[in-house]
Structure 1
């Protein structure tokens, strides 16, 4: 259900959206505590996507402990290590074609399922969980040469303050750089009660000591000293290409590679991503 909220980009009138708005506002007014409980389950529970790509030969599975449960890891190749961080309702499986290419190019690719995603533990997904999931992965390895991230994984990567994340180049695929605008805009378009949503956000922020107003991937990207390459499709319906274009124009360390016809998902295994990974990794 959460996918239908976060990935709904239509601005046209919709009867279902109007009914959702009325229903959630009434529920919140009559039974606020129960409404918040249901809202948390609805808004913070990602879809556990089924694997679409076959496992590459030689793939090694593992487990890393985190504050949100056991995280399933997938490692392939040998050589300098790059970590791969998927997006909302995604899985490490989406990276398998890219990981195979990376291994063939002389690198180690380490992908993992974020909390509440894939086969990892955890009940809820949100920025604090994504950031802490990445931190747990970074703690489990000695050195990291770079990080590749997709969609919401890009926001959590740029937000991450772990030294290994700060001191490496980034390859961001279809990034969410204006995270709060994207999040609140998506929920508003769904028709869901914004007052109820804001209360859930405040609960999560307080629980994990992660104030919502501090989330600013765009601003934090400006402060990075290492190179960042963004690969983004001009027709992406879920994350803004124009924001990526603006970032590349304003930030000296950021380079934008644009694509056409690949959308938000297919771009992950595109030739443009593979080629720019090699160029970035060998700088």
Structure 2
């Protein structure tokens, strides 16, 4: 089956119509007002309740609060298992520290323990808004307190954060990325277009994030960070992922020095995290290196 190289980002969670109406109404008044509204909306994760499949890990893991000085925020860290070989797990946007529970259980059986966390303003961590830059800072700070790690596994935005963290010096033997996003420009403009807004609102929103990053925020795109990553990387991406196009992982794969891309079918963006075949290949890769 031929796959398109260029695809749009999608959102499996539909944006409520009252929100799109509000965004359009503000746009009619002022681009600045619309951008301010969308910036807050874009930066506000949804805190989902913990599903039953994650309750065992949630109950067994040691939970500790950790302060991240660079962003002046507190996060909740989960230490799961007592083995000495550590694996860092990084969830995606609107995720939580137990989201990769089935992967964590498989790793425990293979002699690893896992460290994961509720990213700023996610799960049990306090706050209302966050961004990928805060994910990166949280990963680097966790390594100082809980590392060193043998490897790390990221999902979605967590994959993007890990690539940037490794680029900044996070020491790992290898890394696994699942359903990663890629170009920040595309993600921003796709979000504003789905709200029915003109691209000038997306441009203003992007400029706001440039100020926050103190550089072109698109420099933090996954495929750009990948150019500076030399460790072995295994990528998984479903060809029918409704949240992130498979072109994202293809672009990342092209720019990595040592990587393998495995394409799945029918697992979407989240079901892939619990698939036995994916988990077996993931564990085999980690143990091999």
Q: Indicate conservation of the 8 Å contact 1:84/1:147, yes or no.
A: yes
Q: 1:30-67 CA deviation, whole Å, 9 max, x = no partner? A: xx4x5554333222111011111213363211121112
Where in structure 2 are the equivalents of 1:167-178 lying within 5 Å?
Answer: 167-178=172-183
> Is residue 2:137 matched to residue 1:132?
yes
C-alpha distance in 2 between matches for 1:21 and 1:257: 39
SS, match of residue 46 in structure 1: coil
Q: Quick one: which of 108, 121, 141 aligns to 1:116?
A: 121
TM-score normalised by the chain length of structure 2: 0.83
Distance, in Å, in 2 between the alignment partners of 1:90 and 1:109 is 17
Match of 2:77 in 1: 73
- Matching of residue 104 in structure 1 with residue 109 in structure 2: yes
The equivalent residue for 1:38 is 37
Secondary structure in 2 matching 1:202: helix
Would the aligned equivalents of 1:9 and 1:186 in 2 still touch at CA under 8 Å? no
CA distance in 2, matches of 1:236, 1:115: 25
Structure 2 residues not aligned, in runs of 5+: 1-8
Q: If the length of structure 1 is used for normalisation, what is the TM-score?
A: 0.84
CA distance in 1, matches of 2:161, 2:76: 18
From 60, 63, 68, the equivalent of 2:62 is: 60
Inter-CA distance 104–27: structure 2 relative to 1 (3 Å threshold): farther
Contact 1:45-1:124 at 8 Å conserved across structures? yes
Q: Distance in 2 between matches of 1:231 and 1:197?
A: 29
Regions of 4+ moved over 6 Å: 15-18
Change (3 A) 1:8 1:100: closer
Corresponding position: 1:27 with 2:33: no
Secondary structure of 2:201's partner? helix
1:139 to partner: Cα distance: 1.9
8 Å Cα contact 1:144-1:164 kept in structure 2? no
Distance 1:206 1:247 in 2: 25
Give the superposition deviation at 1:177.
2.4
